[in-house]
């Protein structure tokens, strides 16, 4: 079911999104070579709770953690681990969901650990740009296929990277995952038409190699690239409005000025 949000509900989601944004802003300073992914988890959970939110991933389909923390070839959904320490040149994806008095927000971000190679930096840059290319298509009257087609053309056709098909964006609020499904590939002019009041995530996952992924059998959660190539991801929650797409999880008001409520 797709729920159309009122202005009041969208503003409440933006308040929830501000908690995630603040957490990510702090992680920029925290994530350095030698830190464990468990320390990131502990910080993230405490930050969310200290700011009045609930880490909504805890308990979701049996998941036990406030964050998913995926390193290098891990695409998504990896557990925080006490014995996993980040090294110079790694990249780490941190994803979380916040529930603030029933208003949900969801955001993932990729961080360089120290200095990364030019190849990896370009992967991060292209993936982040792909997110904003998708956001620019999230206009009233456009269709979901316009978002996916624009992202896929940029990621695969222009840059030659693998655009993950198996995991996609989604509607959000008043639950974590709701309709519509928001693929990062598709055919322009096809799919559901976007209406004011829809709130969705756009969250491309981009691989240095092929787009294919697999799930670790050992834990049943961790998603890796099939070919072992590294992967990046960026995610925002977007409100569809008559004034254009509005980012509800913005970490950088100056950069995102045209997308703010």
**Block residue for tokens 């008559």:** 242
In the chain, helix, strand, coil percent, each to 5?
30, 25, 45
Residue 51 annotated in ligand binding: no
- Counting other chains too, the contacts that 224-227 makes at CB distance below 8 Å and 24 or more residues apart are 224/73, 224/74, 224/75, 225/73, 225/75, 225/162
Give the Å distances, CA to CA, from 125 to 202, 206, 254: 16, 11, 18
Q: CA-CA distance, 235 to 250, in Å (whole number)?
A: 10
Give first-to-last CA distance, the chain, whole Å: 25
**Block residue for tokens 């190679």:** 117
Q: Looking at residue 31, what is its pLDDT?
A: 98
SS3 of residue 169 by DSSP: strand
Residues 6+ apart with CB under 8 A from 5: 13, 173, 197, 198, 199, 239
**Complete DSSP assignment for 102-161:** TEEEEEEEEEE-SS--HHHHHHHHHHHHHHHHHHHT--TT-BHHHHHHHHHIIIIIIT--
Q: CA-CA distance, 11 to 232, in Å (whole number)?
A: 29
| Helix/strand number for the chain, H first, E second | 4, 15
Residue 106 annotated in ligand binding: yes
Residues 6+ apart with CB under 8 A from 255: none
Which pTM does this prediction carry?
0.98
Q: CA-CA distance, 57 to 199, in Å (whole number)?
A: 19
Q: Looking at residue 1, what is its pLDDT?
A: 86
Residue 235 annotated in ligand binding: yes
Residue 77 annotated in ligand binding: yes
Residue 74 annotated in ligand binding: no
Residue 203 annotated in ligand binding: yes
Residue 236 annotated in ligand binding: no
Q: Looking at residue 241, what is its pLDDT?
A: 98
**Block residue for tokens 């998708």:** 134
Tokens of 82: 């006490």
Digits of tens for pLDDT over the chain (261 positions)? 899 999 999 999 999 999 999 999 999 999 999 999 999 999 999 999 999 999 999 999 999 999 999 999 999 999 999 999 999 999 999 999 999 999 999 999 999 999 999 999 999 999 999 999 999 999 999 999 999 999 999 999 999 999 999 999 999 999 999 999 999 999 999 999 999 999 999 999 999 999 999 999 999 999 999 999 999 999 999 999 999 999 999 999 999 999 999
Domains of the chain: 7-259 (3.90.230.10)
């Amino acid at each position: 079911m797709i729920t159309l949000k009122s202005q009041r509900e969208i503003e409440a989601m933006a308040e929830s999104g501000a908690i995630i944004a603040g957490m990510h802003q702090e992680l920029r300073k925290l994530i350095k070579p030698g830190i464990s992914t468990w320390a990131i988890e502990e910080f993230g959970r405490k930050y969310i709770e200290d700011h009045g939110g609930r880490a909504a991933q805890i308990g979701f389909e049996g998941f036990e953690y406030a964050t998913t923390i995926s390193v290098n070839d891990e695409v998504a959904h990896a557990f925080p681990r006490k014995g996993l320490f980040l090294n110079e040149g790694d990249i780490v994806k941190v994803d979380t969901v916040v529930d603030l008095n029933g208003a949900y927000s969801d955001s993932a971000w990729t961080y360089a650990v120290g200095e990364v190679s030019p190849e990896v930096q370009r992967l991060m840059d292209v993936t982040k740009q792909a997110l904003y290319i998708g956001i620019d298509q999230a206009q009233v009257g456009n269709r979901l296929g316009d978002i996916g087609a624009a992202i896929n053309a940029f990621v695969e056709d222009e840059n030659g990277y693998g655009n993950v098909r198996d995991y996609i964006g989604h509607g959000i609020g008043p639950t974590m995952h709701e309709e519509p499904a928001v693929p990062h590939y598709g055919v322009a002019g096809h799919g559901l038409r976007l209406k004011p009041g829809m709130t969705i995530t756009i969250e491309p996952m981009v691989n240095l190699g092929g787009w294919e992924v697999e799930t670790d059998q050992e834990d049943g959660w961790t998603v890796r690239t099939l070919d072992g190539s590294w992967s990046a991801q960026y995610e925002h929650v977007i409100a569809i409005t008559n004034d254009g797409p509005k980012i509800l999880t913005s970490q950088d008001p100056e950069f995102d000025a045209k997308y703010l409520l």
